[in-house]
Amino acid sequence: MANSNLSNAKNAKNDEFYTQYHDIEKEINAYLEFNPDVFRDKTVLLPCDDPEWSNFTKFFAQNFARFGLKKLISTSYAADSKKYKTGYQPTLFEVNDPQFDYNKTTKNGKIFSLTHDKTGDGKIDVNDLEWHYLEGDGDFKSKEIKKLQDEADIIITNPPFSLFRNFLAWIVQAGKQFMIIGNMNAITYKEVFPLIKENKAWLGATGNGSDMVFAVPKGAEVDEKDRQKAARLGYVGDYTRLGNSCWFTNLDHGRRHQTLPLMTMADNLKYSKHKEIKGKESYDRYENYSAIEVPFTDAIPSDYDGIMGVPISFLDKYCPEQFEIIGSNLTHGIPMFEVAKKGTFAQGGPSFYTANGDSTFKRIYTRILIKHKNTKK
């Protein structure tokens, strides 16, 4: 119970992580390189944002004309509804505006929209954003935000960590295009994996599985280890880092069409840089599923035409023209007690196991099952 409270508190805190401008820029550039018109005449919705200081809003407002956007909509969630309270203070921008409402500032969400050069200064930027309070608190599940979703072509955000599954389901059921930040481990969620397997969603182009640095509300508690890691990356102060962050999307980018250069199985066994492979007679096979264990993406043999189990980080290199995704240990792991009548193994979840050769079995970490589309001999 204490543990689950702790983890709820941690998840709620992670709901308030703010994305860096250059992380957004880097990712968006990859889509533009692939298709310079990806945003042309499109309505982009940025839900779960805090438009007054969000880098998503800033980035798309500053690039509105260059991208040829039709409309930008950005919404925020009311301070009173947030699970993690951060000592809310309205911004001077809001307080100095004639619309400022003392009662609504904490209870209502806000909507910012941009369609044209409102100020008439000859350019479109953040100064042309128009805003008002939402009727409700800006919950993405509300009817009010659903209407904005209907209007949008592309939905982009870093959704609240604790609601990632619900958020993705919300976009997918609406059939919208999206780019959202999440955690690599979400790949194995039962709501996410089928989308990846069927090529209805994939990883974005940048930052996959690496440490991403996020700004946190002023004075927010941050794990000291994470604060130091962020500092080592050059972010000192109200910043933290989240390992294994990545973008999930259904918009195409060039990176996912680059095939992975690989060695043959014989060459891997002879020359691999991994001691787990080099010098062995063959790749290990699972006891409870007919596939070979490939513990590193760069050790995938180019000439093996059977099924292979690879770590989830493989998805960063996944090219749908090169490989087919068959499943994972969660979908295909046969319970060990059905396979190994004797022997010792650590139980836990549907995992794959390899034999240690002494009647004990090693439980293998999460694996995705893949197969070459065209084996290179």
Ligand X SMILES: C[S@@+](CC[C@H](N)C(=O)[O-])C[C@H]1O[C@@H](n2cnc3c(N)ncnc32)[C@H](O)[C@@H]1O
Please give the residue ranges that form the binding site for ligand X (CB under 6 A): 15-19, 48-50, 54-56, 77, 82, 138-140, 157-158, 160, 163
Closest distance between ligand X and the C-beta of residue 268, in Å? 40
Closest distance between ligand X and the C-beta of residue 74, in Å? 9
82 versus 317: smaller Cβ distance to ligand X: 82
Closest distance between ligand X and the C-beta of residue 238, in Å? 13
DSSP state of 43: E
22 versus 278: smaller Cβ distance to ligand X: 22
For the beta sheet containing 344-345, the strands, ordered from the edge strand earlier in sequence to the opposite edge, are: 344-345, 360-364, 352-355
240 versus 329: smaller Cβ distance to ligand X: 240
Sign of CA dihedral 81, 86, 88, 91: negative
The separation between CA 326 and the C-alpha centre of its own chain, rounded to angstroms, equals 21
31 versus 352: smaller Cβ distance to ligand X: 31
217 versus 301: smaller Cβ distance to ligand X: 217
Specify which residues 213 forms β-bridges with: 241
Closest CA to 100 of 127, 144, 131: 131
Question: What is the rounded distance in angstroms from the CA atom of residue 129 to the CA atom of residue 119?
Answer: 9
48 versus 369: smaller Cβ distance to ligand X: 48
Question: How many alpha carbons lie under 13 Å from residue 12 in its C-beta half-sphere?
Answer: 13
Question: What is the rounded distance in angstroms from the CA atom of residue 290 to the CA atom of residue 85?
Answer: 50
Q: Going along the chain, which residue ranges are E strands?
A: 18-19, 43-49, 71-76, 110-114, 130-133, 154-157, 177-183, 202-203, 210-215, 239-249, 292-293, 308-310, 323-328, 344-345, 352-355, 360-364, 368-372
Sign of CA dihedral 196, 277, 335, 185: negative
Closest distance between ligand X and the C-beta of residue 216, in Å? 10
Region of 228 (left: φ > 0; alpha: ψ -120 to 50; beta: rest) is alpha
Q: Residues 337, 340, 341, 342: what is their CA dihedral angle, to the nearest 10 degrees?
A: -120
Closest distance between ligand X and the C-beta of residue 291, in Å? 37
Question: What is the rounded distance in angstroms from the CA atom of residue 249 to the CA atom of residue 201?
Answer: 6
Closest distance between ligand X and the C-beta of residue 281, in Å? 48
Closest distance between ligand X and the C-beta of residue 97, in Å? 20
Closest distance between ligand X and the C-beta of residue 361, in Å? 40
243 versus 349: smaller Cβ distance to ligand X: 243
Closest distance between ligand X and the C-beta of residue 24, in Å? 8
Question: What is the rounded distance in angstroms from the CA atom of residue 119 to the CA atom of residue 132?
Answer: 17
187 versus 215: smaller Cβ distance to ligand X: 215
What does DSSP say about strands 239-249 and 202-203: parallel, antiparallel, or unpaired? antiparallel
Burial 25-64 (b: 16+ CB within 10 A, else e): eebbebbeebeeebbeebbbbbbbbbbbebbbbbbbbbbb
48 versus 196: smaller Cβ distance to ligand X: 48
